[in-house]
Amino acid sequence: MSTNAHATESSQTVALTVDGHDILFPALPYDIHARARSSTGDPQLQQFVNSATLLKDTGRKKVCGEVFGSNYEAMRRLGGDIKQHTLDHLDFYLDQFVERATDAGAQVHFATDGNRANEICLKIARDNNCKLCVKSKSMVTEEILLVPQLESLGIETVETDLGEFIIQLDHDAPSHIVQPMIHKDRRAVGRAFERELGTEYCEDATSLARVARKHLREKFRQADLGISGGNFLIAESGSVVICTNEGNGRLCTSAPRVHVAFVGIEKLIPNLEHLSVLLKLLARSSTAQPLTCYTHIITGPRRSDEPDGPEQVHIVLVDNGRSEILKPETREMLRCIRCGACLNSCPVYRKIGGHAYGSVYSGPIGALITPMFKGLANYPDLPHASSLCGACYEACPVNIDIPKYLVKLRVELVKRRITKLSDRVFFKVWAATLRYPVTYRLVGFLQKLIFRLKARTQSQLDSGDPYVSRGWISDMSGPVRGWTDERDMPTPTARSFRDWWRNEHENSE
Amino acid sequence: MNVSLFVTCLTDTFYPRAAIATVKVLEHLGCHVDFPAEQTCCGQPMFNNGFEDESRELARQMVRVLEHSDYVVTPSGSCAAMIREHYEELLSDDHAYKHAISGLVAKTYEFVEFLVNVLRVDLKQMDVSWPGKVTYHYSCHLRGIGVTDEAVQLMEQIDGLQYVPMEKMDQCCGFGGTFAVKYPQISGAIVNDKVDCIAQTGAQTVISNDAGCTMNISGACRRQGQDAKFKTLAEVIAEGMGLLE
């Protein structure tokens, strides 16, 4: 199936694919251009993504400023240091977590890859004869494609996060780590509910939420398997921490008799004191809230003297490529707490949306970890499709220098010769001419000559002050054509600064 | 005070008036300005595209050329950021250069930053007048070197200048060097957003202190039929001081 054809459809209409999986799992190697073009040409997507990301980004800055004030930078560094420390000693904290979680009665499983993680879950489901699964939001389960696996076993699996529920009904795919349906609006929800749930079409958010609530309550009542992700793992107590806003997380992890939590191994932190720092940063960075409405700290299954809770708690620790990123050169990338602040602040994400990244993780952090997870040669565009503006670094609550690592991936692309030969030749020649003032001036002169001749033939050359007058080119050819696809190209002025310095400034002294 | 001008390749060839203004303002403020003619490019295009060896060569050359300067001032935030943010790591194995690199990093300033933080200029005391409505493009690389509202501070000290902030001021213009050429559809969408934000301010002049951003935004304004003049703050100050027409 052609990926590009689907990309063109996906942002506007119901995806033609089975639950949108090939939106996030396109044919490889992935070329971003077609989807980027489709997104930038979609006025609805432009409007939805722009306004939602701006709202969250502005809110984040406001609450972080109000609460942390001049300590904000120190807070970000502290958040980063806590995660970095845990990653630096991950073997120790993993051992401690497994021991303490087991003591608390949870069953801890270790999955080296996605297949293994799915097998573990399917076995638990089969052993317990589960028929209906309610699931709260989890990026790891998207990453390993868990839901279709469960469904193939005949286990009905219902996403219960409102955004994910709508995405599932609409056979779409999430396009943001935190706000999965950022690319959709109320009308799309109304249509999906009408079509899939048989309710009357409406656009009122409260009524729509009520419809979802009614539908989901019934599922929660009947479900025998609850699946969740985990925002943090506490090594000292063996707990899984889940932050949600809708209460669905609590129902998923307490109503069904079996709870399975899928958590990436990088989510570990030492103890509750560290959690207090990271919770403050997470909620403010992701949704501009002081705290998420529900923060669950789950330590083992229901005790004999407790009225509620699952009989079994399983924690699946997922590696799936993470230990590869754990090497010292790239370890910092694993600090990510999936708050989505880098997506909200990113000018590129704001224009192309999440699906254009062609992977489960989008935005700046996705552009880093996707090539790490799935191979740099499979995603050569992602490290380059960034202006390196640094907004993501500034927004990151755990201080990940995303632009720095994007450049490091670009270095890898060159070293491994994935970068096109023509680019390699171009940059080497360009750099060579810049090494000597003589060749620098010669190239500058030729550039001026060619550009100005071209502008003259298009009658777009001004006259007047030689240090100001310039021309414009509206259709360039060759390697720089992309520039004039979108904007005009100014020519150099008639004379350069060097000319002025030599002819006018030095003479005047 | 002895100041070496690092003109940058784009300003040299595309915006010489900005560099002329920089020289004239610095001289007016009592600095002795020299221009080491051996300078070419800081290596940013190669660095950003992953050509480490090539950028290393150019970085070494910059370090050599500017080794004996007291201060290095450049009218470009992005080239200042290249030196300050990346040279030390880029040349970390180069022990012979270690001392000179940290020296260069410590003495390199973007023009506006130099005026406010080193010369501690108060334009109010100098009778600088520039009547007109302007908006200001905050270029991303200033973020990297920790420059935030210095330009706004200076603009507010200029008599007659009416500054209108633009919406989404801290959103990148979409230049990103070769990004603009490799991903024109993305870069184009970002810069057209900027053009709309400029139009909303009603200002006729855009102050932009980075040549790359200016090429991008002015080219998009022209394509969109949005009439706007682009100047650096150095040019506005020079005009306001009567040093440039």
Segment A258-267, tens digit of pLDDT: 999 999 999 9
Domain ranges across chain B: 2-118, 123-240
Nearest CA distance, B7 vs chain A (angstrom): 8
State residue A478's pLDDT score.
Answer: 85
State residue A461's pLDDT score.
Answer: 84
Segment A52-84, tens digit of pLDDT: 999 999 999 999 999 999 999 999 999 999 999
Pairing of strands A232-234, A239-244: antiparallel
The tokens describing A310, both together, are 């699952």
| Three-state DSSP class for residue A473 | strand
Residue A18 has pLDDT above 80, yes or no: no
Judge contact between A323 and A265, C-beta under 8 A: yes
Q: Does A420 touch chain B (CB under 8 A)?
A: no
Contact A419 B50 (CB under 8 A): yes
Instruction: Give contacts of B 48-67 with A, CB under 8 A.
Output: 48-52, 54-55, 57-58, 61
Match 């071209």 to its residue by tokens.
A454
Match 């406010």 to its residue by tokens.
B116
Measured between CA atoms, the residue of chain B closest to residue A437 is: B38
What are the DSSP calls for A262-312, one per residue? Answer: EEEGGGEES-HHHHHHHHHHHHHHHHS-SS-SEEEEE-SS--TT-SSS-SE
Nearest CA to B78 out of B114, B45, B121 is that of B45
Residue A5 has pLDDT above 70, yes or no: no
Task: State residue B85 phi and psi, 5-degree precision.
Answer: -90, -30
Segment B155-172, tens digit of pLDDT: 999 999 999 999 999 999
A200 CB burial (10 A radius; 0-12, 13-18, 19+) = exposed
Question: Which residues, listed in sequence order, are joined to residue B108 by a DSSP beta bridge?
Answer: B72
Q: What is the mean pLDDT of residues A308-333?
A: 97
Nearest CA distance, A15 vs chain B (angstrom): 23
Q: Which of A324-338, B91-105, B114-128, B139-153 has the lowest mean pLDDT?
A: B139-153
Contact B51 A427 (CB under 8 A): yes
Residue A504 pLDDT class (50, 70, 90 cuts):
confident
Q: What is the mean pLDDT of residues B66-81?
A: 95
Measured between CA atoms, the residue of chain A closest to residue B170 is: A391
Judge contact between A470 and A453, C-beta under 8 A: no
DSSP annotation of A385 reads: S
Q: Which of A97-111, A462-476, B192-206, B225-239 has the lowest mean pLDDT?
A: A462-476
Nearest CA to A79 out of A429, A249, A332 is that of A332
pTM of this structure:
0.94
Segment B1-39, tens digit of pLDDT: 999 999 999 999 999 999 999 999 999 999 999 999 999
Pairing of strands B32-34, A232-234: unpaired
Q: Which of B14, B37, B39 has the CB atom closest to A490's CB atom? A: B14
Nearest CA to A384 out of A408, A360, A361, A401 is that of A408
Nearest CA distance, A327 vs chain B (angstrom): 19
Residue A6 has pLDDT above 70, yes or no: no
Residue A13 has pLDDT above 70, yes or no: no
Residue A361 has pLDDT above 70, yes or no: yes
Contact B35 A501 (CB under 8 A): yes
Segment B223-235, tens digit of pLDDT: 999 999 999 999 9
Residue A200 pLDDT class (50, 70, 90 cuts):
very high
Contacts of B231 in chain A (CB under 8 A): none
| Three-state DSSP class for residue B231 | strand
Contact B219 A479 (CB under 8 A): no
State residue A9's pLDDT score.
Answer: 36
Interior angle at CA A143, CA A142 and CA A147, nearest 5: 40
State residue A7's pLDDT score.
Answer: 37
Contact A407 B180 (CB under 8 A): no
Q: Give per-residue burial for A460-474: e unless 16+ CB within 10 Å, then b.
A: bbeeeeebeebbbbe
CA dihedral B126, B130, B134, B136 (to 10 degrees): -30
Contact B54 A427 (CB under 8 A): yes
Domain ranges across chain A: 91-324, 437-508
Q: Give per-residue burial for A331-360: e unless 16+ CB within 10 Å, then b.
A: bbbbbbbbbbbbbbbbbbbbbbbbbbbbbb
The rounded percent of chain A whose pLDDT value lies above 70 is 96
Q: How many CB atoms lie within 10 A of CB B111?
A: 28
CATH superfamily of A91-324: NagB/RpiA/CoA transferase-like (3.40.50.10420)
Residue B143 pLDDT class (50, 70, 90 cuts):
confident
Q: How far is CA A16 from CA A19, A148, A176, A263, in A?
A: 8, 16, 20, 30
Fold of B123-240: Rossmann fold (3.40.50)
Judge contact between A101 and A315, C-beta under 8 A: yes
What are the DSSP calls for A324-335, one per residue? Answer: HHTSTTTGGGGG
Q: What is the mean pLDDT of residues A434-452?
A: 93
Segment B74-89, tens digit of pLDDT: 999 999 999 999 999 9
Segment B190-214, tens digit of pLDDT: 999 999 999 999 999 999 999 999 9
Segment A22-59, tens digit of pLDDT: 899 999 999 999 999 999 999 999 999 999 999 999 99
State residue A16's pLDDT score.
Answer: 39
How far does Cα B40 stand from its chain's mean position?
16
Q: How far is CA A111 from CA A108, A262, A499, in A?
A: 10, 10, 66
Q: What is the mean pLDDT of residues A13-23?
A: 58
State residue A19's pLDDT score.
Answer: 64
State residue B150's pLDDT score.
Answer: 92
Average pLDDT, chain A: 93
Amino acid at A229: G
In sequence order, the 6+-apart residues with CB closer than 8 A to the CB of A449 are: none
State residue A479's pLDDT score.
Answer: 83
Task: State residue A340 phi and psi, 5-degree precision.
Answer: 85, 0
Q: Within 13 A of A43's CA, how many CA atoms are on the CB side? A: 0
Q: What is the mean pLDDT of residues A277-283?
A: 97
Residue A458 pLDDT class (50, 70, 90 cuts):
confident
Contact B222 A487 (CB under 8 A): yes
Q: Does A377 touch chain B (CB under 8 A)?
A: no
Task: Give the whole-angstrom CA distance, residue A32 versus residue A17.
Answer: 19
Residue A1 has pLDDT above 60, yes or no: no
Contact A486 B223 (CB under 8 A): yes
Q: What is the mean pLDDT of residues B166-186?
A: 95
Residue A280 has pLDDT above 70, yes or no: yes
Nearest CA distance, B189 vs chain A (angstrom): 6
Nearest CA to A357 out of A176, A142, A182, A113 is that of A176
Instruction: Give contacts of B 100-119 with A, CB under 8 A.
Output: none
The rounded percent of chain B whose pLDDT value lies above 70 is 100
Match 């656009």 to its residue by tokens.
A203
State residue A344's pLDDT score.
Answer: 98
Q: Which of B47, B140, B215 has the CB atom closest to A390's CB atom? A: B140
Judge contact between B17 and A467, C-beta under 8 A: yes
State residue A509's pLDDT score.
Answer: 55
Interior angle at CA B156, CA B151 and CA B158, nearest 5: 100
Pairing of strands A294-298, A239-244: antiparallel
Nearest CA to A467 out of A503, A509, A508 is that of A503
Judge contact between A118 and A155, C-beta under 8 A: no
Q: What is the mean pLDDT of residues A295-317?
A: 96
Residue B149 pLDDT class (50, 70, 90 cuts):
confident
